[in-house]
């Protein structure tokens, strides 16, 4: 469990699955996903069982300090030898946007990745039109490393994907300045 001022990150429990399926199927959230497929309870259960067996993924639920579940955050493709992971799998309850929960959750997760998991690099792949998340990532020190041209299809056409990367030394330097 990771305790912040406003949110707490904790493991996914079976009781969260119905809520996760609802968020995943939400059209606003789905617009920013690279997979367009809808999920049913059986699929969400299977996702959970795969997650329990998978050492290359770490998914945490975001609770408010009052105990209300407001989102989910995760690290994917954890590569222990190269000490890197993809920072992603981000979901927020559609009714809880704009309250700063996401920002604190990303802060806690990034800190955990560098200071506890001993990762050396985090990266994120984001649709070029998802300017909100790109801007937020840059606030955390992520630097744009390139643009994958026409790499993902959604809404009738191919879109570019932006790759952002953050190195531990950059993160630590930034934290030291705060």
How many residues touch another protein under the rule CB under 8 A: the total is: 23
* Residue number, 26 or 160, with CB nearest to another protein: 160
Q: Note whether 141 binds another protein by CB under 8 A.
A: no
User: From CA 54, how far away is CA 105, in angstroms rounded?
Assistant: 22
* C-beta pairs of 42-50 under 8 Å, 24+ apart in sequence: 44/17, 44/18, 44/20, 45/17, 48/12, 48/14, 48/17
Q: Note whether 149 binds another protein by CB under 8 A.
A: yes
Q: Which x/- pattern, by CB under 8 A, does the window 44-73 give for another protein? A: ------------------------------
**Cα angle at 51 between 169 and 57, to 5 degrees?**
10
In terms of DSSP bridges, do strands 84-92 and 121-127 run parallel, antiparallel, or are they unpaired? parallel
User: From CA 69, how far away is CA 93, in angstroms rounded?
Assistant: 8
40: Cβ contacts below 8 Å, ≥ 6 apart: 21
User: From CA 84, how far away is CA 69, in angstroms rounded?
Assistant: 28
Q: Which x/- pattern, by CB under 8 A, does the window 9-38 give for another protein? A: -------------------------x-x--
- Residue 102 C-alpha from the chain's centroid: 9
* Residue number, 67 or 156, with CB nearest to another protein: 156
Q: Which stretch binds another protein (CB under 8 A): 1-9, 25-33, 92-100, 120-128?
A: 120-128
Q: Which of residues 74-103 bind another protein (CB under 8 A)?
A: 81-84
Q: Note whether 118 binds another protein by CB under 8 A.
A: no
Residues forming contacts to another protein in the complex (CB under 8 A) are 34, 36, 81-84, 120-121, 123, 143, 145-153, 158, 163, 165, 167
């Amino acid at each position: 469990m990771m305790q912040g001022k406003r949110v707490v990150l904790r493991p996914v429990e079976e009781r969260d699955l119905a809520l996760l399926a609802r968020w995943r199927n939400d059209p606003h959230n789905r617009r920013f996903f690279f997979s367009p497929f809808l999920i049913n309870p059986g699929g969400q259960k299977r996702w959970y069982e795969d997650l329990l067996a998978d050492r290359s993924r770490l998914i945490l639920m975001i609770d408010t300090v009052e105990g209300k579940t407001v989102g989910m955050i995760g690290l994917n493709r954890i590569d222990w030898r190269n000490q890197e992971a993809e920072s992603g799998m981000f979901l927020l309850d559609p009714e809880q946007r704009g309250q700063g929960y996401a920002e604190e959750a990303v802060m806690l997760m990034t800190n955990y990745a560098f200071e506890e998991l001993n990762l050396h690099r985090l990266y994120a792949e984001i649709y070029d039109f998802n300017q909100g998340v790109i801007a937020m990532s840059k606030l955390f020190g992520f630097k744009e490393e390139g643009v994958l041209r026409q790499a993902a299809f959604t809404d009738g056409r191919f879109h570019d994907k932006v790759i952002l990367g953050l190195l531990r030394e950059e993160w630590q330097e930034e934290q030291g300045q705060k």
